[in-house]
Chain A
Amino acid sequence: MITLSQMNPLEKGIIISIDADGELKQRLFSFGLRKGSMIKVKATSIAKSTMEVEVGSTLMALRYSEAERIGVEKA
């Protein structure tokens, strides 16, 4: 298992763990980011501080510090 933060743009993976507390987890959930979802990294910002990912048909942005808490398996 690697973390989402270790993935590069255009790589795909399946989420296997989310290490976040209640509210953040609920938030990620409502965006469709949960165990078993397919995730694709679309772009990263210049200093690798934020990344854009695609989950289902939703595009969302998150920080690398949050991506570190999301475990994925490359697909």
Chain B
Amino acid sequence: MKELTIALVGQPNVGKSMLINAISDARLKVGNFSGVTVEKAEVDFIFKAHEIKIIDLPGTYSLNDYTQDERVTKEFLETQTYDLIINVVDATNLERNLFLTTQLLALDKKMIVALNMMDEAQKEGICVDHDQLSSILGVPCVKVSAVTKRGIGKLFNRAVDMFHFPYEKSKLIYSEVVEEEIAKLSFFLKQKRYQSTLSYRDVSLKLLEEDPKMYRAMHDEPIWVEFMPLLKESLSHLYLHYDTKDVSEIFAQERASFARGAVRETVSYEKNYLGNMTDRVDRVLIHRVFGIPIFIFLMWGLFQLTFELGSVPVEYIDAFFVSLGAYAKTIFGDGELGSLIADGMISGVGAVVMFLPNIVILFLGIALLETTGYMARVAFLLDGFFHRFGLHGKSFIPLVTGFGCSVPAYMSARTLKNDKDRLMTLFIIGFMSCGAKLPVYVLFTGAFFSKEHAGNILFLIYIAGALIGLLSAKFLKVFVFKGVDEPFVMEMPKYRLPSLKLIWHTVATKAMMYLKKAGTFILGASVLIWFASNYPKYPLLEEQYAKQIALAQVDEQKTSLSNELSSLLLEKSYLGIIGKSTDFFFEPIGFDWKMTVALEAGLAAKEVIVSTLGVLYALGSDVDETNEGLVHALQKQIPTASAVSFVIFVMFYLPCLAASIVFTKESGSYRYLGYLIVFTTTIAWLLSFIGYRVSLLIL
């Protein structure tokens, strides 16, 4: 079986990931490009006795070094080994897409152009003569539609054929002005019988493009003395003609006119396509007045849905884990093993899995925002607002992603090119409450507020977090990151209904990651916390209480005594010792040591907060007898003001370990992690203090 490696390249929003999803029986692997945290998707499948491996490179408008994604793509194409390039282009926006194609042609690799979105082009009355385009570009062009899956087989047929044919140089023809200079220089090289592995045309072209490597090579040649004046003259001709001395601009112009020429010769419009969908939708969604309210309404709806719809299965999942715990105790007994499994593992993991429905709805919402093209509109609407806080409209994307998970949010901040803009965004991403904090909020709002208010309170928590984030951005801009702003130039992609498969895939991956975390990391943390809260043992104390309980006459007295014992044992456990030793720091904001421990455990992962509370408060109350859930335990044992303060602290303190590691990587220095710890802890503590004191006064 022959192996065939394909690099998939295209501009953003041309449907590359949809194309990958359209390949049947493919194995998808998601990882990172080495050295950087840009996502790298790889697909493996068998086609006509070939093992095909596709590497999906980050979308890029051109092969410049504008953003990190572009750098990754450029570097991959120039330094890695692969057999051929599939350049995915949007057939409805061919001219702009071909600009990148012209740059790819210059790489001298086997290449196929996939004219994607042909179904849409047909609807818009756009006809593309792909044979003509193939002969203009000198590489095969194949019409495909990732949505209807048409042409996919043909595309890979072509790829396999291409793989076996020898490489044929594509012919990118420049304007007469440039071609004339190329001809002049080539002629001279030919006269001198200059020895080179490259064609004379390539040598001349590279010199005109000011390719440093070519200059270095030519510089040591005897021919250079005679050749230099010719080259100088050629360049000055170009400068004169283009009215600029910027060679990269001259060649950009050249490529652009090549792309325009290619489109003029191959694309025809059947009918005048007026009033397309994007136009009509935009008239509403980015309306000067209604645009922002519509956006806020949509976000509010998403959070309501997250809470209302998500809470339906939560009760069942909770009940399931409670009965599973009880069942486990009947098998493993009431002893240490039973307690480890029921109170440690099952209640810890259960507390996290319980919130899977909420997480799935939230991720679904964010995935929809991203894939429909609405995200760019929101950046457009909010840039004016964001700019006032010293942020960039594009900061919105990492910030909103931050509502899902801080890790991809930190990564997506890479779209911000300016270092200061990016750092500022990185610092406040943690204030956008991530999905893992949601369980804490749902638990506390559910426990301390009535059901009708819970959704609104949840919304308020998110909004307040975001607002404080913006204010701290302003603070950072004024006092820390002073300087010029990054230009705001971004594409507004066409509105598209995302394919169900793609959405499903995105959400399922996120949900699996969440469950995986629950099954491994959270499980381990739960066991650790269970151990720390059960050990060391105090047999003397237990005996003493056992005697008292045996002596007690009334049942009530018995329960109160046994509860007293459990909480006393907890206090004396390792966990209690840790919590108590740091208690002084949290006492002014109304935490007991259990809450302190939960918070500290949450530094590992935010889901651990809830699982820790689950273990701590489940052990404190008699789970078997009354079967009361965590919610009731919290209501009983935590004053409302402390609950408010706790929620505020969770909103603002340091993100989880994984996120902190990514933060360090993206910010580029451990120094910044130090700043982040000080920055977030100070804000969290101060705001919790205010929240606690105010709640004490009014409640």
Which chain A residues border B286 with CB–CB below 8 Å?
43, 45, 52
Give Cα distance in the complex from A26 to B256, angstroms. 11
For residue B334, CB closer than 8 A to chain A, the reply is no
* Nearest CB of A to B91, in Å: 11
Give Cα distance in the complex from A26 to B64, angstroms. 8
* Nearest CB of B to A29, in Å: 5
Which chain B residues border A34 with CB–CB below 8 Å?
252-253, 256
Mark each residue of chain A from 18 to 61: 1 if its CB lies under 8 Å from any CB of chain B, else 0. Answer: 00101111111111101000000011111111101000111111
List B219-258 residues whose CB lies under 8 Å from chain A: 246, 248-249, 252-253, 256
Cβ-defined contact, B491 with A57, below 8 A: no
Give Cα distance in the complex from A27 to B418, angstroms. 14
* Nearest CB of A to B236, in Å: 21
Residue of A nearest to B64 (CB): A26
- Which listed residue (A44, A48, A49, A59) contacts B492, Cβ 8 A? A59
Cβ-defined contact, B61 with A30, below 8 A: yes
Which chain B residues border A30 with CB–CB below 8 Å?
61-62, 64, 96, 99-100, 252
For residue B488, CB closer than 8 A to chain A, the reply is yes
Cβ-defined contact, A26 with B66, below 8 A: yes
A50 and B380 in contact, given A22-B248, A26-B62, A30-B99 (Cβ under 8 angstroms) = yes
Give Cα distance in the complex from A24 to B380, angstroms. 18
* Nearest CB of A to B432, in Å: 22
Which chain A residues border B491 with CB–CB below 8 Å?
31, 58-61
Residue of A nearest to B387 (CB): A49
A45 and B384 in contact, given A31-B489, A52-B492 (Cβ under 8 angstroms) = yes
Residue of B nearest to A23 (CB): B66
Cβ-defined contact, B292 with A46, below 8 A: yes
* Nearest CB of A to B70, in Å: 10
For residue B557, CB closer than 8 A to chain A, the reply is no
For residue A73, CB closer than 8 A to chain B, the reply is no
Give Cα distance in the complex from A66 to B485, angstroms. 11
Give Cα distance in the complex from A57 to B99, angstroms. 13
Which chain A residues border B488 with CB–CB below 8 Å?
50, 61-63, 66
A49 and B384 in contact, given A25-B249, A27-B489, A60-B490 (Cβ under 8 angstroms) = yes
For residue B666, CB closer than 8 A to chain A, the reply is no
For residue B92, CB closer than 8 A to chain A, the reply is yes
List B20-77 residues whose CB lies under 8 Å from chain A: 61-62, 64, 66
Instruction: Give the number of A-B contacts (CB < 8 Å).
Output: 121
If over half of B's interface residues share one DSSP class (helix, strand or loop), that class is named, otherwise mixed; here it is helix
Give Cα distance in the complex from A23 to B67, angstroms. 10
A58 and B380 in contact, given A26-B62, A28-B489 (Cβ under 8 angstroms) = no
Cβ-defined contact, B489 with A45, below 8 A: no
Cβ-defined contact, A59 with B61, below 8 A: no
For residue B291, CB closer than 8 A to chain A, the reply is yes
A60 and B383 in contact, given A24-B487, A46-B288 (Cβ under 8 angstroms) = no
Which chain A residues border B253 with CB–CB below 8 Å?
29, 34
- Which listed residue (A27, A32, A42, A47) contacts B96, Cβ 8 A? A32
Cβ-defined contact, B248 with A46, below 8 A: no
Cβ-defined contact, B99 with A32, below 8 A: yes
Which chain B residues border A32 with CB–CB below 8 Å?
95-96, 99, 256
Give Cα distance in the complex from A26 to B62, angstroms. 9
Cβ-defined contact, A43 with B249, below 8 A: no
Cβ-defined contact, A43 with B282, below 8 A: yes
- Which listed residue (B64, B256, B383, B493) contacts A50, Cβ 8 A? B383
Give Cα distance in the complex from A66 to B494, angstroms. 23
Give Cα distance in the complex from A17 to B543, angstroms. 89
Cβ-defined contact, B494 with A59, below 8 A: yes
A57 and B383 in contact, given A43-B286, A46-B291, A63-B488 (Cβ under 8 angstroms) = no
Which chain B residues border A44 with CB–CB below 8 Å?
288
Residue of B nearest to A62 (CB): B489
A61 and B379 in contact, given A32-B256, A46-B291 (Cβ under 8 angstroms) = yes
A58 and B252 in contact, given A22-B246, A44-B288, A46-B291 (Cβ under 8 angstroms) = no
Give Cα distance in the complex from A21 to B387, angstroms. 21
Give Cα distance in the complex from A26 to B61, angstroms. 10
Which chain A residues border B278 with CB–CB below 8 Å?
59
Which chain B residues border A63 with CB–CB below 8 Å?
383, 387, 487-488
Residue of B nearest to A34 (CB): B256
* Nearest CB of A to B112, in Å: 22
Which chain B residues border A62 with CB–CB below 8 Å?
487-490
Cβ-defined contact, A50 with B384, below 8 A: yes
Give Cα distance in the complex from A50 to B384, angstroms. 7
For residue B655, CB closer than 8 A to chain A, the reply is no
* Nearest CB of B to A30, in Å: 4
Cβ-defined contact, B249 with A58, below 8 A: no
Give Cα distance in the complex from A47 to B491, angstroms. 20
- Which listed residue (A22, A57, A66) contacts B489, Cβ 8 A? A66
Which chain B residues border A28 with CB–CB below 8 Å?
489
Cβ-defined contact, A31 with B61, below 8 A: yes
Give Cα distance in the complex from A58 to B452, angstroms. 45
Residue of A nearest to B276 (CB): A57
Give Cα distance in the complex from A14 to B249, angstroms. 19
For residue B393, CB closer than 8 A to chain A, the reply is yes
14 contacts between A and B (CB under 8 A): A26-B66, A26-B248, A28-B489, A30-B99, A31-B491, A46-B291, A46-B381, A49-B383, A49-B384, A50-B380, A50-B488, A61-B383, A62-B487, A62-B488
**13 further A-B pairs in the complex, CB-CB below 8 A; given A57-B93, A60-B492:** A22-B246, A24-B487, A29-B249, A31-B489, A34-B252, A34-B256, A43-B283, A45-B291, A47-B384, A50-B381, A56-B95, A56-B96, A59-B491
Closest 9 CB pairs of A and B: A49-B384, A30-B62, A59-B492, A30-B61, A61-B380, A63-B488, A47-B384, A50-B383, A57-B93
Give residues in B with beta carbon < 8 Å to A.
61-62, 64, 66, 92-93, 95-96, 99-100, 246, 248-249, 252-253, 256, 278-279, 282-283, 286, 288-289, 291-292, 376, 379-381, 383-384, 387, 393, 417, 487-494
